[in-house]
Amino acid sequence: MSDKFIHAVPNFSEGKREEVIEAVVDQLRDVEGVKLVGYFPDADFNRTVIELIGRPEPLKKALLDMTAKSIELIDMEEQSGDHPRIGAQDTIPIFPLKDITTEECREIAEEIGQAVYDQCEVPVYFSGENARTPEREKLSFIRKGQYEGLKEVAHTPERAPDIGPGALHPSAGAVIVSAGERPLVAYNVILGTDDLEIAKSIAKIVRGPSGGFTTVRAVGLKFSERNQVAVSMNMFDYDLTPLYRTFELIKNEAARYGVSVVASELVGVVPQEALVNSLEKYLQLEDFDRSQILENNLIGL
Amino acid sequence: MSDKFIHAVPNFSEGKREEVIEAVVDQLRDVEGVKLVGYFPDADFNRTVIELIGRPEPLKKALLDMTAKSIELIDMEEQSGDHPRIGAQDTIPIFPLKDITTEECREIAEEIGQAVYDQCEVPVYFSGENARTPEREKLSFIRKGQYEGLKEVAHTPERAPDIGPGALHPSAGAVIVSAGERPLVAYNVILGTDDLEIAKSIAKIVRGPSGGFTTVRAVGLKFSERNQVAVSMNMFDYDLTPLYRTFELIKNEAARYGVSVVASELVGVVPQEALVNSLEKYLQLEDFDRSQILENNLIGL
């Protein structure tokens, strides 16, 4: 059997109604060759993030079943929440996980996009590696105006769907499908202070737009349960900018305030490589072949 | 299907005759549920180390097939080499790898030992978790006098096999079977000097018997290909003494000589946990569940 595995992080636009969330997520349960790693509804966002892994063919089918169910149960004319979105099944991003290339994932994302339109009659925008124009590589461009704004301009060439007519689906909006090289890693570094200003200052140093790491977005947050603050990061490329580099930068910057780093935490799932490449730097490890990790030989056994 | 997996590191007493090595290793190839990760013949030692993983039942059978072949092809009356040994299939150590306890491995080692005697009529000594007496926990006690010496005293209660008569097999000697909590990790830290005395001094500081870490054995070695020296370690418990701790100690001690650490290297295989527990310390990671590592969800999929 092929040992190719894909990681998918689909997002659908319901984070409150438990029966809807469960009905959508149910499409991903007990599917041979697919594993639902976790799902994370957010009531304020009114959105659920799913972590899914699996072999390409069954994963594709599971993603289509999920999309059909989101579309059936979520009406964008009534949906509202704090997170930007353009459709019921808002995004379907996929990433290579094992023995598969980003290019193969790009092709699979094309197939998923076409199948979404063919089977559900919901128009599709391609993003990431599948973007038809440089602007569409980023979700923010595609989502400009959100569902409500996009439906007014979806007939214009600049904003029209990549598959489907120049119009959104009347209740389900559209779906954004993409392949990417690496998934986002959510990483928090917690400071030994309750001074939010310090966390905000350091976050500004760390994040790309204000002069920090191009691949990192960061905010300062209060961690009320521990009366401490944190630099909370979205790391978009753990290869270009490994975890250790942000951790050490934050430690150095915090020291300028006489503050120490008390802990860090990984939120949700993380590819093994995001851990190994940091340890490699700390231990100055040379010639470390990932197949030397015993467990990596278990996959497919 | 059960997702229990075992790691085995059998050693047999042939490291020169290629046709014998291949015939023994062949018993471990293309076995459903078992993966031969690697094998490492050493001509000076006249011994081959094997790294093997698999599900308990097929792994047990593969180990028995290997033992039968070693016994058939290796005559201890003629075998000689630099490494201490008491038999053709000298050792069969097993370790828990995934979703299995050390106690379960201990029971499986018992079954392996009994089957070796029943099927091959070669006596068995139990070591590690299976040792019948505290002295027999260590290989060095069982191996005292090696094959040649042991066969003279195998009739005495102190040295008799745990399974079998008070005598070694006339050509195959005996087999040492054991379960352990964690496998040995071989780890080298390379220094930016060619002064072997510095590596030797630091090795002495690091290793247990001379006041260092109880679970670590270390020697100073010349790395002639790079004109540098290394502290070469066998780490017997990466949980009690993680990699980072020996690395940092060596770095500190080397600095006293004005020498820096230029690299480190892991020799052979290593359990994922031996990497993750070091990174956890460096990043002060809190509440990191190993199932957050995406790839860990692939096993058995």
Q: How far is B81 from chain A (nearest CA, A)?
A: 28
Residue A299 lies in a domain: no
Specify the DSSP element, H or E, that contains B147.
helix B146-153
Residues of B with a known catalytic role: 83
Helical segments of chain A, H only? 18-26, 56-73, 102-120, 139-142, 146-153, 196-206, 243-256, 272-282
Q: How far is A61 from chain B (nearest CA, A)?
A: 16
What are A250-262's pLDDT values in tens digits? 999 999 999 999 9
Q: Is pLDDT above 60 for A166?
A: yes
Confidence grade of residue A3 (pLDDT, cut at 50, 70, 90): confident
What are B179-214's pLDDT values in tens digits? 999 999 999 999 999 999 999 999 999 999 999 999
What are A4-53's pLDDT values in tens digits? 999 999 999 999 999 999 999 999 999 999 999 999 999 999 999 999 99
Mean pLDDT of A227-247: 97
Residue B301 lies in a domain: no
Same domain, B173 and B210: no
Query: Under an 8 A CB cutoff, do A268 and B298 touch?
Result: no
Could you tell me which of A249, A239, A266, A244 has the C-alpha nearest to residue A207? A249
What are A264-295's pLDDT values in tens digits? 999 999 999 999 999 999 999 999 999 999 99
Same domain, B82 and B159: yes
Query: Under an 8 A CB cutoff, do B53 and A7 touch?
Result: no
Return the CATH number at B111.
3.30.990.10
Measured in whole angstroms, the distance separating CA B147 from the mean position of its chain's CA atoms is: 20
Same domain, A38 and A130: yes
Angle at B203 between CA B200 and CA B206, to 5 degrees: 160
Strand partners, B187: B233, B266
Q: Is pLDDT above 60 for A1?
A: no
Residue A43 lies in a domain: yes
Same domain, A249 and A225: yes
Residue A298 lies in a domain: no
Mean pLDDT of A123-146: 96
Same domain, A193 and A74: no
Residue B272 lies in a domain: yes
Residue B166 lies in a domain: yes
Contacts (Cβ under 8 Å, ≥6 apart) of A29: A36
Residue that terminates a domain, selected from A120, A144, A179? A179
Same domain, B23 and B166: yes
Average pLDDT score over chain A: 96
Residues of A in contact with B262 (CB under 8 A): 284
Same domain, B112 and B229: no
Q: What is the pLDDT of residue A299?
A: 78
Report the domain count for chain B: 2
Residues of A in contact with B291 (CB under 8 A): 37
Q: What is the pLDDT of residue B2?
A: 60
Alpha-carbon distance of B178 to A23, in angstroms, equals: 50
Residue A301 lies in a domain: no
Same domain, A221 and A142: no
Return the CATH number at B213.
3.30.70.670
Residue that terminates a domain, selected from B179, B213, B247? B179
Query: B84 to each of A130, B134, B143, B195, B244, how far by Cα in Å?
Result: 60, 20, 7, 30, 31
Q: What is the pLDDT of residue A136?
A: 97
Same domain, A68 and A175: yes
Residue that terminates a domain, selected from B152, B179, B206? B179
Mutate to test the interface with A, among B182, B185, B275 (most CBs of A within 10 A): B275
Flag residues of chain B having pLDDT under 70: 1-2
Pick the residue from chain A with its C-alpha nearest to B51.
Answer: A294
* Phi then psi dihedrals of residue B218, to 5 deg: -145, 145
B125 touches chain A (CB under 8 A): no
Structural domain containing residue B25: 5-179
Residues of A with a known catalytic role: 83
Same domain, A31 and A161: yes
Residue B297 lies in a domain: no
Extended beta strands in B45-108, E state: 47-54, 91-98
Same domain, B172 and B191: no
Confidence grade of residue A2 (pLDDT, cut at 50, 70, 90): low
Kindly report the three-state secondary structure assignment for every residue of B224-271. HHHCEEEEEEEECCCCCCCHHHHHHHHHHHHHHCCCCEEEEEEECCEC
B156 touches chain A (CB under 8 A): no
Same domain, A151 and A202: no
